[in-house]
Amino acid sequence: MLQINLLGGEQAKIYGMNLVEFNGEGFVKSMRELARKLLKETDYITIDDLRIISDRYDIKPHHSNCYGAIFKTKEFEACGMQKSEIVSNHARRVMKWRLKK
């Protein structure tokens, strides 16, 4: 049966992201550091930028949802959206991120 509960869905999302971040702590930590470095050279980045670099150097997370945990800190803020250029994402929108000022 279809369940409708926005709060429950949000809580399940947070739980899942925390679990993935905990299990993939090394990957997430490395990608956050890379994001900080990239943001010194440009106004914003997207998760696509990090996925392209990790693919190029064959750095794989234990689970693909680790990418969602990278920007889950108070040091980053969303500053817009754009369509993903990664073909398997089917042009879905991804957030643009910058360091908080």
What does each of the 101 residues of the chain score in pLDDT, given as a tens digit? 767 778 888 877 776 666 656 656 788 888 999 999 999 999 999 999 999 999 998 888 877 778 888 998 999 999 999 999 999 989 999 999 999 98
Would you state the pLDDT for residue 4?
Answer: 74
Would you state the pLDDT for residue 12?
Answer: 73
Which residues partner with 99 through β-bridges? 76
**pTM score, whole prediction:** 0.76
- Give the CA distances from residue 69 to residues 4, 7, 22, 26, in Å, rounded to whole numbers and listed in that order: 25, 19, 10, 12
Domain encompassing residue 13 = 6-99
Domains in the chain: how many in total? 1
Would you state the pLDDT for residue 90?
Answer: 93
Residue 61, in any domain of the structure = yes
